[in-house]
Amino acid sequence: MAVEALRLRRLDANRVEVPKDYKSGMSVPGIIFVDEVLEKDLEQKSIDQVANVAMLPGIVGASLAMPDIHMGYGFAIGGVAAFRTDSGIISPGGVGYDINCGVRLLRSSLTREEVVPRLRDLVQVLYREIPSGVGSKGKLRLTRQEMERVCRRGAGWAVEAGMGEAADLERIESGGVIDGADPSLVSEKAYERGKSQLGSLGSGNHFLEIQYIDEIYDEDAARALGLFRNQVTVMIHTGSRGFGHQVCTDYLEVMEKAVRKYGISLPDRELACAPFQSPEARDYLAAMRAAANYAWANRQAIMHWTRESFIGVLGLAPNRLGMSLIYDVAHNVAKVEEHEIDGKKEELVVHRKGATRAFPPGHPELPQAYRKTGQPVLIPGDMGRASFVLLGSQSAMRQTFGSTCHGAGRVLSRHQAIRQARGRFIRRELEERGILVMSAGRETLAEEMSEAYKDISNVVDVVHNAGISRKVVRLRPMGVVKG
């Protein structure tokens, strides 16, 4: 660990504090959810980013980071911060370039034993039917008018277009659409980039994964979610593609000007922001919501084609397949929410950048299906290890504004991973372990090899032990389509 990191103060087994005197100008402390094992992987730059966010106007409570923390643009990936809507700011760096990158999980009626004999065929068909890789284009070609409807309607647009059922929308965060999107505030360049990419995975760590449940931690919760041992599930991880990337790029320029206009002092120019009540902030929020809705439509379309692929390859009637949506969560988004601060309810804008909601039982924003259990929390790992389903908790509301981690978190940069993988055949290594993988390129598999990530089991144990989400089941990979 770097010398500076020794200034961190351990609060308990699962949290360290970045004290307010760590950097001049911090108005709140930083809190990083890590145990002693994961603390060794903390990057100095990530710790500094947590401290920098603590200097932003109107921040409430603490600048938070989840155990999958690693360096990002402005905010660390894994960062969570809430700001008052009357005196605080909104920052694109607190959302990220891939607006509403997120995960959805499908369950089926199938067991691992039923799928293994046709696994190779399934992976090949899914790879063919769902475009992946850098610059990949989907099967849809949308007009400008249609794109604007996507921006307003989100996953609902895809359902109306015949890609899914109305019941799907009840199991998506925010119902698959954030109100207040304004397509007129999205640039022509963003529309140009997004019009041919709806229904595609994209590149990097995005994936579609066929999995099976190998461990159940909470039998009652698993039963309530319709999950059982050896059950086959499908996890989809992607976001708003080039559309959201361009929205972020456009509004970073707007925010850089706003910083000068409103005289905001920043410790890092990547934290460019504007007062929440300003026209610049309102415009960004409306455009960001449009990109978030695009992402939900994207995952809805991919889910529809996944169902069709399973039916085609396995020759099963839809009711025998039993493929239905458990939940869909956003990882990169800013939302206006009500939280209790010092015993009073306050309206805050919560930035989650590589973090996910973990709302508790009874929360009014949860669909009726999950009012008793709490929100399903979906945490993917790397393609060689495991993923997890958890549930949100009341403790998360008190500690993290109802947030938890979103994945394993990188420990190697993409370039470092490629160098370390030289001379290895990652695809063959995975296949020897019973995991079939198809990707757009060999380099992608090197970038995404298990050693590039923290051990997801350690990460999930921290959020479970800290009480900000509780483990339900573990999912093991069988077949993977990588971006």
Residue 58 resides in a domain: yes
Q: How far is CA 407 from CA 194, 385, 391, in A?
A: 26, 12, 15
pTM of the predicted model over 0.75: yes
Per-chain mean pLDDT for the chain: 95
Write down the pLDDT at residue 2: 41
Contacts of 29 (CB under 8 A, 6+ apart): 17, 18, 19, 20, 54, 62, 63
Residue 49 resides in a domain: yes
The one-letter code for the residue type at 52 is N
Closest C-alpha among 413, 406, 397, 394 to residue 452:
413
Write down the pLDDT at residue 278: 98
Mapping DSSP onto H, E and C, the string for the chain reads CCHHHHHCEEEECCEEEECCCCCCCCCCCEEECCCHHHHCCCCHHHHHHHHHHCCCCCEEEEEEEEEEEECCCCCCEEEEEEEECCCCEECHHHCCCCCCCEEEEEEEEEEHHHHHHHHHHHHHHHHHHCCCCCCCCCCCCCCHHHHHHHHHHCHHHHHHCCCCCHHHHCCCHHHHCCCCCCHHHCCHHHHHHHCCCCCCCCCCCCEEEEEEEEEECCHHHHHHCCCCCCEEEEEEEECCHHHHHHHHHHHHHHHHHHHHHCCCCCCCHHHCCEECCCHHHHHHHHHHHHHHHHHHHHHHHHHHHHHHHHHHHHCCCHHHHCCEEEEEEECEEEEEEEEEECCEEEEEEEEEECEEECCCCCCCCCCHHHCCCCCEEEECCCCCCCEEEEEECHHHHHHHCCEEECCCCECCCHHHHHHHCCCCCHHHHHHHCCCEEEECCHHHHHHCCHHHECCHHHHHHHHHHHCCEEEEEEEEEEEEEEC
pLDDT tens column, 36-84: 999 999 999 999 999 999 999 999 999 999 999 999 999 999 999 999 9
Ramachandran angles phi, psi of 20, nearest 5°: -65, -20
Q: How far is CA 375 from CA 357, 360, 378, in A?
A: 8, 6, 10
Q: 347 lies in which domain range?
A: 3-97+335-355
Question: Which residues in the chain show pLDDT less than 50?
Answer: 1-5
Write down the pLDDT at residue 31: 98
Residue 374 resides in a domain: no
Strand pairing category for 15-18 and 30-32: antiparallel
Write down the pLDDT at residue 320: 94
Residue 339 resides in a domain: yes
> CA 186, CA 183: separation in Å to the nearest integer?
5
Q: 363 catalytic, yes or no?
A: no
Residue 387 resides in a domain: no
Residue 436 resides in a domain: no
Write down the pLDDT at residue 1: 39
Write down the pLDDT at residue 387: 98
How is residue 401 written in tokens? 């504004």
Residue 139 resides in a domain: no
As a dihedral over the C-alpha atoms of residue 446, residue 448, residue 453, residue 459, rounded to 10 degrees, the angle is -160
Selecting among 70, 245, 351, 406, the annotated active-site residue is 406
Residue 145 resides in a domain: no
If one counts the domains in the chain, the total is 1
The one-letter code for the residue type at 67 is P
Write down the pLDDT at residue 3: 37
Mapping DSSP onto H, E and C, the string for 27-69 reads CCCEEECCCHHHHCCCCHHHHHHHHHHCCCCCEEEEEEEEEEE
